[in-house]
Amino acid sequence: MSEPDEASLPVLQVMEVEAAVEAARAAFPGWANRSPQERSQVLHRLADLLEQSLEELAQAESKDQGKTVALARAMDIPRSVQNFRFFASSILHHTSECTQMDHVGCLHYTVRTPVGIAGLISPWNLPLYLLTWKIAPAIAAGNTVIAKPSELTSVTAWMMCKLLEKAGVPPGVVNIVFGTGPRVGEALVSHPEVPLISFTGSQPTAERITQLSAPHFKKLCLELGGKNPAIIFEDANLEECVPTTVRSSFANQGEICLCTSRIFVQKRIYSEFLKRFVAATRMWKVGIPSDPSASMGALISKTHLEKVRSYIERARAEGARILCGEGVDTLSLPPGNRGGYFMLPTVITDIKDESRCMKEEIFGPVTCVVPFESEEEVIERANSVKYGLAATVWSSNVGRVHRVAKKLQSGLVWTNCWLIRELNLPFGGMKSSGIGREGAKDSYNFFTEIKTVTVKH
Ligand code: NAD
């Protein structure tokens, strides 16, 4: 497999989504009837093949998305491999419930069966990583799938198609449809024979998907955006907190739904934190994606870069201070790359909680830092946005860490760390950050139907 320099991919029409549904329908009984062990073996073979192509896939992911090759090599592709290995293993360990009612001579138990054809829709920020996070549990549970990668980043999904066949995934079990959201995505979401949709992406798209699927009462899992707070108490270990918070703010150009974008720092350490944070941010090198010393590559598109910049302009107009980055420091790039969609990681302060920069998801390398006084106050302010995806809490007081974690309206809370994932446990957001959870048990429950059987003896 060679990684493409220039890529052209098909843009499908509604008719071709229909053909995918037919293929998925035909393949479903055979795949659903295979034992979990047989399906698991296929997933393991696919994981091995992806791993053998790790370098080509990492290069392609970087070219397509703008992230550094180093990140694609260390995170995106290894995690895609792990997604298949993880669900290949976890599918072997589910058990069902059973209970007895001796006084009426009954035994009750539950059985789970695959739902049918699963519609899977993923975004552009972690292309193969998020697509495989859906495909793996869906097919492990015996469903057939129609998966739609983002039209902005379809290359690695295209490359994986060849590996699916090689791994022995039967025809029709995984159907990848390429194309735009309004055309291909909507055809999938509104198709009456696709009873379940797993979607990761933005809130406006989720609203549209909810509307289109409502007449069919589809099962929905929605993984959406965030406006994630970091809460830094005065007893935090700044040696660890500062570099981790730089990473949590700017990794993948800030284009991760879990990235920190509001940093609340307790007053006593506010200036010390700011000084260290800005200095560490200035060390976070923006470079061409193939540069091994670069921490950040290019943003996904011109439109997105302009959107991110517009938030900084808005903050400036509101009287906020830009401490480093956009409009303050100079970005140095090789001459051939100066027209690219690069920007410096940017830190904003002196900004009000009501500002749009503090309320809306920017999804770029921009973070706001503000002071707070008390635990009670910071919890209220952290919870004051419509999102509830991820939060980080920094403190050496274990009692406080537990207390604050419990009160935060957030599906995930990392304390004294960031982005350490245990795939067995639920992943997902509260409030406008989504509906449903993903993970070993949660994905299995989502991708299966449960039935209670009562036997009278
Ligand atoms: P997006 O909503 O624009 O697109 C996501 C996918 O939906 C794409 O494949 C797109 O083609 C498709 N789509 C668009 N319109 C559609 C429609 N009308 N019907 C069906 N499908 C449609 O999102 P994006 O810009 O690609 O991704 C960024 C967003 O994703 C951010 O909000 C980010 O926070 C979120 N995200 C969330 C998670 C999470 O796990 N919670 C992870 C990554 C990204």
Q: Quick one: which of 300, 299, 325, 327 has its CA closest to 313?
A: 327
Please check whether residue 3 lies inside any domain of the structure.
no
Separation CA 66–CA 296 (nearest Å) = 9
CB 338 within 8 A of CB 364: no
Collapsed DSSP state (helix, strand, coil) of residue 72: helix
Centre of ligand 1 from the C-alpha of residue 80, in Å: 18
CB 120 within 8 A of CB 146: yes
**Would strands 117-121 and 144-148 be described as parallel, antiparallel, or unpaired?**
parallel
The pLDDT of residue 5 is: 58
- Atom 9 of ligand 1, nearest CA residue: 150
The pLDDT of residue 440 is: 96
Please check whether residue 4 lies inside any domain of the structure.
no
Please check whether residue 5 lies inside any domain of the structure.
no
Q: Are residues 18 and 138 in the same domain?
A: yes
Separation CA 263–CA 391 (nearest Å) = 10
Phi, psi of 226 (to 5 degrees): -145, 165
CB 77 within 8 A of CB 57: yes
Q: Are residues 158 and 237 in the same domain?
A: no
The pLDDT of residue 3 is: 45
Q: Are residues 219 and 252 in the same domain?
A: no
Separation CA 43–CA 39 (nearest Å) = 6
Q: Are residues 347 and 281 in the same domain?
A: yes
pLDDT along the chain (457 residues), means of 10: 63 92 98 98 98 98 98 98 98 96 97 98 98 98 98 97 97 97 97 98 98 98 98 98 98 98 98 98 97 97 98 97 96 92 98 98 98 98 98 98 98 98 98 98 98 96
Centre of ligand 1 from the C-alpha of residue 455, in Å: 45
Q: Residue 201, Cβ neighbours under 10 Å: how many? A: 22
To 5 degrees, how large is the angle CA 319–CA 324–CA 330?
120
Please give the number of the atom of ligand 1 that sits closest to the Cα of 204: 2
Please check whether residue 355 lies inside any domain of the structure.
yes
Please check whether residue 8 lies inside any domain of the structure.
no
Kindly report the CATH number assigned to the domain that includes residue 280: 3.40.309.10
Q: Are residues 289 and 330 in the same domain?
A: yes
The pLDDT of residue 9 is: 79
Taken in order 331, 333, 339, 345, is the CA torsion positive or negative? Answer: negative
Q: How many domains does the chain have?
A: 2
The pLDDT of residue 352 is: 98
Please check whether residue 332 lies inside any domain of the structure.
yes
Separation CA 135–CA 137 (nearest Å) = 6
Rg, C-alpha atoms of the chain: 23
Q: How far apart are the first and last CA of the chain?
A: 59
Q: Are residues 88 and 165 in the same domain?
A: yes
Residue with tokens 């293993």: 89
Separation CA 324–CA 150 (nearest Å) = 32
Ligand 1 pocket, residue 209 CB under 6 Å:
yes
The pLDDT of residue 10 is: 82
Rounded to two decimals, the ipTM of the complex is: 0.97
Ligand 1 pocket, residue 148 CB under 6 Å:
yes
Q: What is the dihedral of CA 333, 334, 337, 338, to 10 degrees?
A: 50
Question: What residues are paired with 430 via a beta bridge?
Answer: 388
Kindly report the CATH number assigned to the domain that includes residue 107: 3.40.605.10
Please check whether residue 167 lies inside any domain of the structure.
yes
Q: Quick one: which of 142, 140, 143 has its CA closest to 119?
A: 143
Please check whether residue 1 lies inside any domain of the structure.
no
Centre of ligand 1 from the C-alpha of residue 223, in Å: 9
Please give the number of the atom of ligand 1 that sits closest to the Cα of 180: 11
Ligand 1 pocket, residue 438 CB under 6 Å:
no
Please give the number of the atom of ligand 1 that sits closest to the Cα of 179: 11
Collapsed DSSP state (helix, strand, coil) of residue 190: coil
Residues acting as catalytic residues: 223
Q: Are residues 390 and 245 in the same domain?
A: yes
Q: Residue 207, Cβ neighbours under 10 Å: how many? A: 13
Which residue range forms the structural domain that includes residue 200?
A: 14-225+433-456
Q: Are residues 204 and 246 in the same domain?
A: no
Q: Are residues 194 and 65 in the same domain?
A: yes
